[in-house]
Amino acid sequence: MCGILAVFGCVDSSQAKRARIIELSRRLRHRGPDWSGLHCHQDCYLAHQRLAIVDPTSGDQPLYNKDKTVIVTVNGEIYNHKALRETLKGHEFRTGSDCEVIAHLYEEHGEEFVDMLDGMFSFVLLDTKDKSFIAARDAIGITPLYMGWGLDGSVWFASEMKALSDDCERFMSFPPGHIYSSRSGELRRWYNPPWYSESIPSVTYDPLVLREAFEKAVKKRLMTDVPFGVLLSGGLDSSLVAAVTARHLADSEASLQWGTQLHTFCVGLKNSPDLKAAREVADYLNTRHHEFHFTVQEGIDALEEVIYHVETYDVTTIRASTPMFLMSRKIKSLGVKMVLSGEGSDEIFGGYLYFHKAPNKEELHQETCRKIKALHLYDCLRANKSTSAWGLEARVPFLDKEFINVAMSIDPEWKMVKPDLGRIEKWILRHAFDDEQEPYLPKHILYRQKEQFSDGVGYSWIDGLKDHANQMVTDSMLANASFVYPENTPTTKEGYYYRTIFERFFPKNAARSTVPGGPSVACSTAKAVEWDAAWSNNLDPSGRAALGVHAAAYEDGVPKANNAPVAATASPQKSEVEKTVMAA
């Protein structure tokens, strides 16, 4: 990951203003500790803090076209940059950076090129010929971007809120899948897949198509010139990422530099569920496994730093960000600069436990759409900022644009939890990788039920956070919360405690408005309550509210015999299985 900052239309273009831009850009140096760059053109500034992953020796930014009339600062990775270069034969490339194609694509296609990019990215581009500029963010919002406005009429963009919050009167989270053009002065959505309208898809589930799409998504993310690994919790999603990576590592360019044994990483309190499960998967895949421990007190001590870096007061995000933040520091100390992670699967496939209560396929599909569209405010924000705090890049193959289009085109009837057919949550993903001839994972791992990340690192973690918040926040403070925090009023002492820390770092109204809010409800969504009123009295926003579902279907994390997947022993290559289940 890198850090970008761009400012356009400054009234003050003095040396003092340049020094201020450098000072603000420096607030993003944790994202890109390898090099700093700044381009000034009249009253326009483009700054960059680089984390060198591809072409470390010559890919410093900002990047330019041949005559330097187009300047671009980019945060992210463009996985199809080599294919795009082939379409730009008449252009002269100065670096081996994957991001340089953006400047040349703009020359070739104008503003209508963003959908050609396959990757995760936020970028700002200046065309000096008419001083116009554009800014864009990837389809799902894997990389962060904020937009702000100064009192002098200036327009600002930054990877993190901390780089513009002091100098902008108003700012907001830049919406995913959008582009801003100074020519029109408007935001418009460039990402318009068929599923985005929430019309109900009807494509029949094909396990091989789904499997191949995911393998392709993983393989393209092995594009790296630096050491890397996989974050492995031992759950389904991270285990599949690790399994596919391990299977294809030997054929990747990365193996020529870093070898063919995959490194995996896990964090937790001692004897936590994740540590045990991850160790089992790592042994099966024969990875070089690294296990990191932390204590509840160490996590509590890190909370202020975590909130400063992740820039939110959302309770579930902070709970899960803290172990990830601590683990990222350890990973970076080993010389690793990039990791693959499993975010996004639960949103795409309806993997959260409250999806057991979805009444029909229409509501399930609409809820998965809503969850994907909100990822940039929750899991994407957590994964990116927790790792970037230590100059570590996280790549998320489940959020590959092509894979999402395949997965979201499947008739959602296949995503419904159906115990009578042996289908647990995310059954179609599990079944797609259930290969008898060449197993990706043991069956008991492939069909293991989800642990909430903040629970999986150790069940006493959440309880420790609540106990600490109870000591820091009095009953009177919480009773008067609506007067102190009338917007997104915290409903628990834990939420109140995080809010007080957040407000110290980011006191403006615009800052608190970038965080999603409203009363906490089970599983962080009102849909859980709508589908099952029994969860309405639970103020804890974690998946613990769905433990009734967990206990009903499982004993000690293992499916009950009468609820075992009917296709657990069948290879996805046996299409008769699909016909049988469809007929049923």
Structural domains of the chain in order of their starting residue, each with its CATH number? 3-192 (3.60.20.10), 202-449+549-576 (3.40.50.620)
Amino acid identity for residue 226 in this structure? V
Query: Is residue 537 over pLDDT 80?
Result: no
Is residue 135 within 8 Å of residue 179, measured between CB atoms? yes
Classify strands 228-231 and 338-340 as parallel, antiparallel or unpaired: parallel
- 99 catalytic residue (yes or no): no
Q: For 216-259, what is each residue's pLDDT tens digit?
A: 999 999 999 999 999 999 999 999 999 999 999 998 888 888 88
Please give the pLDDT value at position 459: 81
Rounded distance between C-alpha atoms, residue 106 and residue 128, angstroms: 13
Please, are residues 27 and 20 in contact by the beta-carbon 8 Å criterion? no
Q: Mean pLDDT throughout 255-271?
A: 91
What is the per-residue pLDDT for 451?
A: 63
Q: Give the pLDDT of residue 550.
A: 56
In this predicted structure, the answer to whether residue 268 has a pLDDT above a threshold of 50 is yes
Mean pLDDT (whole number) for 395-408: 98
- 98 in a labelled binding site: yes
3-class DSSP assignment, residue 432: helix
pLDDT for 566 equals 34
pLDDT at 12: 87
* Residue 557 pLDDT class (50, 70, 90 cuts): very low
Q: Which of 213, 220, 289, 288 is nearest to 252 (CA)?
A: 220
- pLDDT surpasses 70 at 499: yes
**In whole numbers, what is the pLDDT of the chain averaged over residues?**
90
Q: Do residues 156 and 148 lie in contact, with contact meaning Cβ atoms separated by under 8 Å?
A: yes
Q: Which position has the higher pLDDT, 14 or 208?
A: 208
**With bands split at pLDDT 50, 70 and 90, how would you rate the model's confidence at 190?**
very high
> What pLDDT was estimated at residue 61?
94
On the question of pLDDT at 291 being above 70, the answer is yes
Buried/exposed 187-218: b ≥16 CB within 10 Å, e otherwise: eeebbeeebbeeeebeeebbbebbbebbbbbb
pLDDT at 389: 98
Judge whether 122 and 75 are in contact, CB under 8 Å: yes
Amino acid identity, position 260:
T
What is the structure's pLDDT at 543? 56
pLDDT of 302 higher than 50: yes
Check whether 341 is labelled as a binding-site residue.
yes
Per-residue confidence (pLDDT) for residue 528, from 0 to 100: 76
Q: Are 499 and 508 in contact (CB under 8 A)?
A: no
**Peptide bond just before 62 cis, omega within 30 deg:** yes
**pLDDT tens, residue by residue, 354-389:** 999 999 999 999 999 999 999 999 999 999 999 999
**DSSP code for 355:** G
Q: At 567, is the pLDDT very low, low, confident or very high (cuts 50, 70, 90)?
A: very low
Contact between 18 and 40 under an 8 Å Cβ cutoff? The reply is: yes
Q: Is 342 annotated as a binding residue?
A: yes
Helix (H, G, I), strand (E, B) or coil at 210: helix
| Least reliable range by pLDDT among 13-17, 252-256, 425-429 | 252-256
Which of 2, 44, 266, 380 is the catalytic position? 2
**pLDDT digits 0-9 by tens, 311-327:** 999 999 999 999 999 99
Q: What is the mean pLDDT of residues 558-580?
A: 36
How confident is the model over 526-533, as a mean pLDDT? Answer: 79
Number of Cα atoms under 13 Å in the Cβ half of residue 261: 8
377 appears as a binding residue in the annotation: no
State the average pLDDT over residues 432-437: 96
Percent of the chain with pLDDT over 70: 89
CA neighbor of 4 nearest in space, from 40, 41, 43, 45: 45
Kindly state the average pLDDT of the residues 432-440: 96
pLDDT band at 454 (very low <50, low <70, confident <90, very high): low
β-strands 155-158, 3-8 pairing? antiparallel
Give the pLDDT band of residue 13 (cuts 50, 70, 90). Answer: confident
Q: What pLDDT is recorded for position 582?
A: 32
- The torsion angles phi and psi of 533, rounded to 5 degrees, stand at -60, -15
pLDDT of residue 548: 58
Residues 458-476 have a mean pLDDT of 95
Question: Is 76 within any annotated ligand binding site?
Answer: no
